Structure 1
């Protein structure tokens, strides 16, 4: 073994390009970040292997076909339907249709106000004029929250900031039905972050970059995109990584079943929840600044309870909502019929409500969602099929996506992305511009792949400074997002 090492070293010294093997990388995690990193490296003629703990690729992107048509149990939107979105060219080239659910200025992020039908607990529809007016008040409250945070050094939660705004501007405090509608807006905001308002940072809540072009629902689901990116890559399913050893000359990765794999470098693209759980041991330990980023970033839960009916019996709007005295008591259903033509409603609990529902069986969770529907539509027909996601308790995810918690800086995302020796990090939680999104995961995979390529070739002394940067002459479907560092 030692003589082979010496021989390899001599060949590298003598001929630069005469070494007997291509640079090698192990990618840990087969979600969008991991697959885009693997695609980037394989297209650069690296030996690439992806180790994925699940029996499928995609991670928190999971298109289910058990109803006879595609339904996304995880991510389902392209946030920012525009050429600036790194995923847009891939989706466009595949000819996949998008159903646009909002313009640029939606106060609810992924839907326009007029696409809702809200109801009270007795099943009475809330007048549209009231919904619109409360939406304007909600926007005013958010503007006041920004003023409050700018005046104070210490961070606070969105809930605390609401209280301060109401004490300063009592006219923004609403009563009765209007108060309940405001709570529903807050509930939707909590859904965006997959977390409760009392944990979301008022300093950092709007630091994400919202791309123009509104939001598009993936009508046929995300699976065709991930399958296309993964084509031809060596992917080992059912390989749960438990240990990563890094040395100056390479990495050794051990899986749960005792298998070991070695390579020049590794890209770590597992969810933040998995990193937080400590189920992967690093040797030597990760630096303190990296571990702090893992510990201090928030990870929230938003789930889907998908109800398939025999026929449509609900209003022709994109979202049905139930307003209540607290955001916890509010509900909302996505109407997939309008976008896909299939009689499907998707109940979407987030934060504490999502955690509580995860304690139920699938049948009880589906019954809970149907009960919310019956509040607003008493004659609702029972569903013929149901699907329930459990992103919080799934050991492969342990949460839905990241968010900024109170008192912690937004640059934690960037810290989580920065490489450690020959370990490179990718995933939505490493994107300071687009956290919690598929295009955020995808773009950080491209960055990690390119960073890894440069670092490994640099070490081999093979970096050709006169070669075009990857992406300039590389595959058009994998654009390079240039690092901000």
Structure 2
């Protein structure tokens, strides 16, 4: 979580930009929703239309957008059918390989319409945003494995930024800043943590929530070493990287909608949503 305050332009006032996690995805039964209520942090429900804009600023026809959204969903359904048809062989394929093959063979792609191509690329980029990776690196068989576990209800933003949640959780806790852990020694009854500054901390248990990359590089020594199965999993599992660019405009040209999309020319970086 990293919340940044930006100074507005003509319309004045400061605005919040969450550079880390930003959206509460599904408020029903979500502990973040409960925490927000406990610290009196209002939630702004995100919803409604998200009009797409051409590079020149004009809005994409809503009927075209809807047509392409339906086509994209249909192609994802065909990707799932491909998994069933290919069986174990599907494990070697990425979602991107199959999705783009299906698109290129579709009637819509055959029209050669640059707008349709750009809108399709936007929906691809939007899914890549959700996976923090290009679809060529996302498993065909496992890309939607979390669907059955996702929380229901509206998506929301925390008014004032997610830093309010962190501040609420941190209240009353002894938090040591700028403290780097280099070794964790553990047994069934206790855990001893050593820092690079030579400090030693002892507790009944330790909850390790460092990023996966830290574990992959063995920057923390575990004594005894983690079980082979866990070490193997750490090395095999992948993770994506999502870079955010925050743009501050002097006025809200998009009106009252919560989200907009931006097309790019076919063949250019589709991730520039």
Q: TM-score, normalised by structure 2?
A: 0.85
| Residue in structure 1 matching 2:270, options 320, 329, 335 | 329
Which residue of structure 1 lines up, in the alignment, with residue 163 of structure 2? 223
* Alignment partners' CA distance in 2, 1:330 and 1:245: 43
Query: 1:66/1:164 Cα in 2 relative to 1: closer, same or farther (>3 Å)?
Result: closer
Alignment root-mean-square deviation, CA: 2.3
Cα deviations by residue, 1:15-35 (Å, 9 ceiling, x for unpaired): xxxxxxxxxxxxxxxxxxxxx
Query: 1:164/1:320 Cα in 2 relative to 1: closer, same or farther (>3 Å)?
Result: closer
Which residue of structure 2 lines up, in the alignment, with residue 203 of structure 1? 141
Report the secondary structure of 1:245's partner residue: strand
Match status 1:86 vs 2:28: no
Alpha-carbon contact 2:182-2:195 (below 8 Å) kept: yes
Report the secondary structure of 2:36's partner residue: helix
Report the secondary structure of 1:70's partner residue: strand
Please list every run of 5 or more consecutive structure 2 residues that lacks an aligned counterpart in the other structure.
8-13
Alpha-carbon contact 2:94-2:137 (below 8 Å) kept: yes
Which residue of structure 1 lines up, in the alignment, with residue 52 of structure 2? 117
Which residue of structure 2 lines up, in the alignment, with residue 74 of structure 1? 20
Shift of 1:91: 1.4
Shift of 1:315: 4.9
Which residue of structure 2 lines up, in the alignment, with residue 337 of structure 1? none
Which residue of structure 2 lines up, in the alignment, with residue 161 of structure 1? 98
Query: 1:63/1:123 Cα in 2 relative to 1: closer, same or farther (>3 Å)?
Result: closer
* Alignment partners' CA distance in 2, 1:274 and 1:328: 30
* Alignment partners' CA distance in 2, 1:87 and 1:313: 31
Match status 1:213 vs 2:213: no
Match status 1:179 vs 2:117: yes
Which residue of structure 2 lines up, in the alignment, with residue 245 of structure 1? 185
Query: 1:217/1:249 Cα in 2 relative to 1: closer, same or farther (>3 Å)?
Result: closer
Alpha-carbon contact 1:158-1:198 (below 8 Å) kept: yes
* Alignment partners' CA distance in 2, 1:77 and 1:192: 11
Query: 1:164/1:304 Cα in 2 relative to 1: closer, same or farther (>3 Å)?
Result: closer
Which residue of structure 1 lines up, in the alignment, with residue 10 of structure 2? none
Match status 1:298 vs 2:246: no
Alpha-carbon contact 2:51-2:60 (below 8 Å) kept: no
Report the secondary structure of 2:136's partner residue: coil
Shift of 1:166: 4.3
Which residue of structure 2 lines up, in the alignment, with residue 100 of structure 1? 45
Shift of 1:309: 3.3
Report the secondary structure of 2:123's partner residue: helix
Which residue of structure 2 lines up, in the alignment, with residue 129 of structure 1? 63
Report the secondary structure of 2:247's partner residue: strand
| Residue in structure 1 matching 2:83, options 117, 124, 149 | 149
Greater CA deviation, 292-301 or 247-256? 247-256
* Alignment partners' CA distance in 2, 1:180 and 1:69: 31
Alpha-carbon contact 1:190-1:197 (below 8 Å) kept: yes
Query: 1:99/1:303 Cα in 2 relative to 1: closer, same or farther (>3 Å)?
Result: same
Please list every run of 5 or more consecutive structure 1 residues that lacks an aligned counterpart in the other structure.
1-60, 103-111, 333-485
Which residue of structure 2 lines up, in the alignment, with residue 233 of structure 1? 173
Query: 1:96/1:64 Cα in 2 relative to 1: closer, same or farther (>3 Å)?
Result: same
Query: 1:122/1:221 Cα in 2 relative to 1: closer, same or farther (>3 Å)?
Result: closer
> Which of 1 and 2 has greater Rg?
1
Which residue of structure 2 lines up, in the alignment, with residue 279 of structure 1? 219
Shift of 1:326: 4.4
* Alignment partners' CA distance in 2, 1:312 and 1:199: 36
Query: 1:298/1:328 Cα in 2 relative to 1: closer, same or farther (>3 Å)?
Result: farther
Shift of 1:122: 4.5
* Alignment partners' CA distance in 2, 1:281 and 1:71: 36
Report the secondary structure of 1:278's partner residue: coil
Match status 1:289 vs 2:234: no
Report the secondary structure of 2:206's partner residue: strand
Alpha-carbon contact 2:30-2:151 (below 8 Å) kept: yes
Alpha-carbon contact 2:22-2:161 (below 8 Å) kept: yes
* Alignment partners' CA distance in 2, 1:309 and 1:324: 23
Which residue of structure 2 lines up, in the alignment, with residue 466 of structure 1? none
Alpha-carbon contact 1:184-1:324 (below 8 Å) kept: no
Higher RCO (C-alpha 8 Å, min separation 6): 2
